[in-house]
Amino acid sequence: MASNPFAHVVTKVCGPPSAADYGADKLLRAVVWGAAAVILLLVTYIVFELGRQAFPAMLSFGPEFLYSTTWDVQAKQFGILPEIWGTLYSSLLALLLGGVLGVAIAIFLTQDFLDHRVSNVFRTIVEMLAAIPSVVYGLWGIYVLIPLIRPGANWLHDSLGWFPFFGTSLSGPGMAPAALVLAVMILPTVAAISVDAFKRVPYKVKEAAYGMGTTRWEAILKVMLPSASSGILAALVLGFGRALGETMALAMLIGNSNQISLSLFAPANTLASLLASSFPEAGPIEVQALMYAALALLAITLLVNVFGLWIMKAATRKFEGR
């Protein structure tokens, strides 16, 4: 038994890299660079293509497109201020509801309120909400949610009608059902990412907090929440992004009415819903206007993401000292 049983390993570890190793390395590098480049090229191409098709509309309608309120195909008047308003208003409401609820669920699932196995089951159920198709949410909204909230909404309008948020009665579709469904739709995104953010906080941090004599709630609110803040903010930004772009459920629930109203019960419209409902039958000039609107939606999403990243950075610096 003179031969060395480790001979093949030894050569592999100690020998200089072979030509094949270099090749594999180069190949991997090319694939990874390629994948990254494809994403960049794709985004650039989408922006370019949208811009190219929207260009005639941008020339003829100018910035007025962004702050006028009429969408009249026959008169060739196009303005998307009500849609911009509706998009931001519905998304903000959804973020408020879905964000609070999502973070609360994340706290519930990670801060030892539940047995480990039970909390895993729970988490799977919340994540399953993300698998429900948008159109099902829309139908659920029409057939279940609207009849459910109508009596309450109309009571609010009757007794507190002077308050701008309850200024109109809820007949059917409107901002409130749309925002509620949107909140449920962004819930899994917010909850899942917040859970990960809490799990990333080292256990020692919590132990140290308890060691200093905090109660459970003090530990959660004053130590865990700030420590996980960058991850939670990321969850909120992603949730908001999803809410901005959500289409089908909103097209079914928001009422598609081009008006700007603070009232939660008035019908409104969003950019994505306008695009979805007008594209199939649009004539050439309307298509250009729709492309312009799509570009506006893209810009809003981009701004929101940049703003979110900036807040996230600030929070990280403040709470995590990085």
49 or 112: whose CB is closer to another protein?
49
Contact flag: residue 115 with another protein (CB under 8 A): no
Stretch that binds another protein, among 141-149, 185-193, 214-222, 226-234 (CB under 8 A): 141-149
Dist. CA 212–CA 152, nearest whole Å:
46
Stretch that binds another protein, among 181-189, 204-212, 271-279, 294-302 (CB under 8 A): 271-279
Longest dimension (CA), the chain: 97
**Neighbour count for residue 278 (Cβ, 10 Å):** 17
Dist. CA 29–CA 309, nearest whole Å:
28
Binding to another protein by CB under 8 A, coded x per residue (else -) over 5-44, reads ----------------------------------------
Contact flag: residue 300 with another protein (CB under 8 A): no
223 or 253: whose CB is closer to another protein?
253
Binding to another protein by CB under 8 A, coded x per residue (else -) over 199-238, reads ----------------------------------------
**Neighbour count for residue 163 (Cβ, 10 Å):** 12
73 or 97: whose CB is closer to another protein?
73
Contact flag: residue 142 with another protein (CB under 8 A): yes
Contact flag: residue 252 with another protein (CB under 8 A): yes
Residue 97 Cβ, how far from another protein at the closest point, in Å? 22
Q: How many residues bind another protein (CB under 8 A)?
A: 33
70 or 159: whose CB is closer to another protein?
70
Residue 249 Cβ, how far from another protein at the closest point, in Å? 11
Residue 78 Cβ, how far from another protein at the closest point, in Å? 11
**Neighbour count for residue 28 (Cβ, 10 Å):** 10
| Near another protein by CB under 8 A: residue from 26, 155, 172, 215 | 172
Contact flag: residue 171 with another protein (CB under 8 A): yes
Residue 170 Cβ, how far from another protein at the closest point, in Å? 10
Residue 193 Cβ, how far from another protein at the closest point, in Å? 32
| Near another protein by CB under 8 A: residue from 53, 60, 68, 278 | 278
Q: According to CB under 8 A, which residues from 56 to 75 bind another protein? A: 70-75
Q: For every residue of the chain, which 3-state class applies, written as one string?
A: CCCCCCHHHHHHHHCCCCHHHHHHHHHHHHHHHHHHHHHHHHHHHHHHHHHHHHHHHHHHHCCHHHHCCCEECCCCEECCHHHHHHHHHHHHHHHHHHHHHHHHHHHHHHCCCCCHHHHHHHHHHHHHHHHCCHHHHHHHHHHHHHHHHHHHHHHHHHHHCCCHHHCCCCCCCCHHHHHHHHHHHHHHHHHHHHHHHHHHCCHHHHHHHHHCCCCHHHHHHHHHHHHCHHHHHHHHHHHHHHHHHCCHHHHHHCCCCCCCCCCCCCCCCCHHHHHHHHHHHCCHHHHHHHHHHHHHHHHHHHHHHHHHHHHHHHHHHHHHCC
Interface contacts to another protein, rule CB under 8 A: 70-75, 139, 142-143, 146-147, 169, 171-173, 251-252, 255-259, 267, 269, 273, 276-278, 280-283, 286
